[in-house]
Structure 1
């Protein structure tokens, strides 16, 4: 029997607070509200909606307002986000693609370039062998033709990671999120909530990161921004929070539950045991859950991402990955390393801080943005 079943506080729902209308000029202001009592240990927080102020119409003599810049498409944002990796890779490849003869010296230079882009030894060896075969098969003669062969080879390697997450068929569909501190896990949860809301899905968030200071408040802020329910506890057990969230989602007919968990390093074995417990308790609340277990990775860590994937996969049985912060790193080639060593579906990639900067992974878009 798990510890959270003992003396577990009864969840109490706190209704959303309706925005107060402004008082007429000839009516006295209302008396100040009586302070509310401290909420119980478990709170159900629903983000409030407030009216947006309307900008006054400028006078006729006012200067024309400058039109806002055109919003970039996702492809443009992905290309901009991969600029550091592309610059690092492109500057090195420019000489190789310059039209020189394809020989062993060129292959040695290509090997060095791929390794410096953090593609890893296994992926680099695979790509070099595949490129050699393509060059021989097509009878390519000079370096200018090598670019197309390399692009095709890389796309073929990482394409198996392109498997969009299907959340249909289960209600609620429970997504358990894991990752180390600072990887962008909680932020990704907020962005995922918005992504699924735009598809007409109802979403509930479980603030299961009970270890990190202000983690609960951060998730509440995302809940308010997206106008979704957040199930949280003031301290307590992460597994209990997830259990409460799934029960609440089942009772209300919610489509998707996003369960946050505490960030932890793969070397913290006692914390890895705790996250295994969270998974077991989720299964107690809903036998076939969690339906998706996602590891959030920071692209800045390069090859260290491989060790994280292996440890979390061995502990939890990962079904998907999210790679964040591709816009802040020159190590975007790590996707190739993941594809070669532990090809777990890469569900989403993030290239910025905007709430719309988390999108499903597309291998062709990635390769095009990396080279062009």
Structure 2
């Protein structure tokens, strides 16, 4: 199944909530008036597109209506799709990797419960299936069961996990991971980190220490710092992204559980308000359900009904 088919299937709940409401507003024979704009604005906000982003979209729609002299609501459907497509951008941003023969280091950050460990396991599986040698570093030494959970995913993906005992210094674990990755001539090192936000200054100090260790050992690394967010939390995911963003040096987003939510509009808010690329989306429980994110196909899938023929 190609990305378009997967994203279309995975966005079913969002499409039903978002487009179901939008379609009822952009109905045949309805005039474009102030009441229409208000209802459309509310529908976009309810889909977790984000208030600031919605205001900008509405301003652009009003402008287009005047420019194109549109009077009927149904004429606005392709304009809305066009504006969302423009907002998402055309570029599909892949992971930044080290040159061939050198070690790529990817750091994962995010609060507990968002699917960080699962994401690392699925990405390890993806890299391994591409023929790369992968090692995992269990840098979340704080959460009970985090190390064991990563080991389970390591076994599933068939990759080694470097660990120390619970409560160890995360930077020391990452250091061991780097040493093992070089000794075993690995291509990719995926580093888990603690996800607690209760004491943010401690967490950020910990992350900074991990950073310094990685930079000292591999000057060009980390090649990516991926913030893992749970799509089902909607606007809360956006707040987490803002908290982590600057201080953790985030370079991209992984949005998990997109298939289980009607709040998929959060992808649009993240893209617009944070100017961070969504690199991967989680579209199910299976190993291969972590998919590289294609922005234009995401928008197309939002506007494509289940009865429409797939295009790969």
In the superposition, the TM-score normalised over structure 2's length comes to 0.91
C-alpha distance in structure 2 between counterparts of 1:242 and 1:181, whole Å: 19
Q: Where do 1:70-219 residues align within 5 Å?
A: 72-99=1-28, 100-159=30-89, 162-169=92-99, 171-219=102-150
C-alpha distance in structure 1 between counterparts of 2:252 and 2:84, whole Å: 20
Task: Please tell me whether the aligned partners of residues 204 and 248 of structure 2 are also in contact (alpha carbons under 8 angstroms).
Answer: no
C-alpha distance in structure 2 between counterparts of 1:353 and 1:74, whole Å: 16
Q: 1:262 to 1:161 in 2, by over 3 A?
A: farther
Task: Please tell me whether the aligned partners of residues 266 and 272 of structure 1 are also in contact (alpha carbons under 8 angstroms).
Answer: no
C-alpha distance in structure 1 between counterparts of 2:108 and 2:172, whole Å: 16
Task: Please tell me whether the aligned partners of residues 165 and 347 of structure 1 are also in contact (alpha carbons under 8 angstroms).
Answer: yes
**Residue 191 (structure 1) shift:** 0.6
Which of 284, 304, 328 is the matching residue for 2:260?
Answer: 328
Where 1:210 maps in the other structure, the secondary structure is coil
Q: 1:267 to 1:237 in 2, by over 3 A?
A: closer
1:25 corresponds to: none
Q: Where do 1:201-350 residues align within 5 Å?
A: 201-235=132-166, 236-265=168-197, 268-350=200-282
C-alpha distance in structure 2 between counterparts of 1:147 and 1:265, whole Å: 41
**Residue 323 (structure 1) shift:** 0.4
Q: Deviations over 1:231-258 (max 9, x none)?
A: 1112311111111111221222211110
C-alpha distance in structure 1 between counterparts of 2:219 and 2:20, whole Å: 52
- What are the ranges of 5 or more consecutive residues in structure 2 without an aligned counterpart? 305-312
**Residue 210 (structure 1) shift:** 0.7
Where 1:293 maps in the other structure, the secondary structure is strand
**Residue 293 (structure 1) shift:** 0.5
Higher relative contact order (CA 8 A, sep 6+): 2
Where 2:58 maps in the other structure, the secondary structure is helix
Equivalences, count: 301
Structure having the higher Rg: 1
Task: Please tell me whether the aligned partners of residues 264 and 272 of structure 1 are also in contact (alpha carbons under 8 angstroms).
Answer: no
The structure richer in helix per residue is 2
1:359 corresponds to: 291
Task: Please tell me whether the aligned partners of residues 161 and 339 of structure 1 are also in contact (alpha carbons under 8 angstroms).
Answer: no
Where 1:233 maps in the other structure, the secondary structure is coil
Task: Please tell me whether the aligned partners of residues 164 and 173 of structure 2 are also in contact (alpha carbons under 8 angstroms).
Answer: yes
Q: Deviations over 1:82-110 (max 9, x none)?
A: 11211111221122222212222211111
- What are the ranges of 5 or more consecutive residues in structure 1 without an aligned counterpart? 1-71
C-alpha distance in structure 2 between counterparts of 1:311 and 1:160, whole Å: 27
Q: 1:161 to 1:232 in 2, by over 3 A?
A: farther
In the superposition, the TM-score normalised over structure 1's length comes to 0.77
C-alpha distance in structure 2 between counterparts of 1:129 and 1:194, whole Å: 44
C-alpha distance in structure 2 between counterparts of 1:338 and 1:267, whole Å: 24
Task: Please tell me whether the aligned partners of residues 96 and 223 of structure 2 are also in contact (alpha carbons under 8 angstroms).
Answer: no
C-alpha distance in structure 2 between counterparts of 1:95 and 1:311, whole Å: 36
Question: Which ranges of 4 or more aligned residues in structure 1 deviate by more than 6 Å?
Answer: none
Task: Please tell me whether the aligned partners of residues 90 and 296 of structure 2 are also in contact (alpha carbons under 8 angstroms).
Answer: no
Q: 1:275 to 1:161 in 2, by over 3 A?
A: farther
